[in-house]
Amino acid sequence: MKIGVLLKQVPDTETRIRIADDASGIVTDDIKWVINPYDEHALEEALKLKDARKAKEVVIFSLGGKGVDQRIREGLARGAERGVWIEAPENLDSLAIARALAAAVKAEGVDLLLAGKQAVDDDNSQVPAMVAEILGWPQVMMISELQIDDGGFKATRDVGKGVRQVVEGRLPAVISCDKSLNTPRYASLPGIMKARRKKIDNKNISALGVDTSSDPLVSHGNWGLPPERSKGQVIPGEPKEAVKELVRLLREEAKVL
């Protein structure tokens, strides 16, 4: 079995976001780029299936510009075999991205495609389900448990209020992963050495038959920061008095008790 993993480059979650002067996006100078945290869980699940001898090969698919090859290389250092880097312009909508990834996945021929439940930059959570539709494959998004056996899958997802559904289907399928699925491994030193010699195929998005010249279906602008929270008051005094005053303020001033 061959497993594909969708991987996206995003700013580290500790990044302090600054807005560009023309409000067209964020300032990307000095940003530390990382693998999207949820995608790390997708990669880990693929590597676990390989460790359990249920998969022979793990291939990383990533779309984007500068630095994406380095994120793929980090994934290869953790144990994936190969990478596919789709070079693409900025500000594509989710459907164009999904069409490009689906074309690359189809050309590669994988039996299972894993992804993170969302990317922590645009928080869209759209691309994996769109890829599933384009390929005509079953999907389960945001799963917390996964079993792969005899050409089928059984996945558990939280559908809110702690209720969980167990969903079954046949492979090939697209599955997106939540944090509770596993604990991602770190790259080992031998892994990092080996990754230098592993192959990253470079594909251009137009060669995958995706037209990027037309206007996006979804477009954004007028970026801004959320309103600042004003600094509140620190309640002075001995612990007992401070707690009494806090409860009074919560009841009488804030009216939340």
Partner 1 sequence: MGNGILVLCEQEGGQIKGTALELLGKARELAAQLGGSVTALVMGTSTPTGVKGAQQIWCVDGPDFQAYNTGPWARAVQVAIEKAAPALVLATSTVATRDFFPRLAARLGLGLATEVVDLCVVDGQVLGRRPVYAGKALYDVRVSSDPAIFTARPNSFPVPADLPDAPAPEALDVALTEADRLTRVVDTLAPETDVVDLTEAAVIVSGGRGLKSKENYDSIIRPLAAALGATPGASRAAVDAGFASHGDQVGQTGKVVNPNLYVACGISGAIQHLAGMRTSKVIVAINKDEEAPIFDFATYGIVADLFTICPLLQAEIEDLD
Residue ranges in 4-23 that form contacts with partner 1 under rule CB under 8 A: 11, 13-17, 19
What distance lies between CA 231 and its chain's CA centroid?
Answer: 33
> By the 8 A CB rule, do 9 and 122 touch?
no
What distance lies between CA 214 and its chain's CA centroid?
Answer: 26
Site string for partner 1, 107-146 (x = CB under 8 A): -------------xxxxxxxxxxx-xxx-xxxxxxx----
Regarding 184 and contact with partner 1 (CB under 8 A), the answer is no
CB of 77 to partner 1, least distance (A): 21
For partner 1, the binding residues in 28-47 under the rule CB under 8 A are 37-38
CB nearer to partner 1: pick between 193 and 247? 247
CB nearer to partner 1: pick between 186 and 199? 186
Site string for partner 1, 44-83 (x = CB under 8 A): ----------------------------------------
Residue 243 backbone zone (phi > 0: left; psi -120 to 50: alpha; other: beta): alpha
Please tell me the distance from the alpha carbon of residue 104 to that of residue 145, in angstroms, as a whole number.
27
**DSSP bridge partners of 145:** 156
Q: Which of 1, 95, 187, 200 binds partner 1 (CB under 8 A)?
A: 95
> By the 8 A CB rule, do 112 and 153 touch?
yes
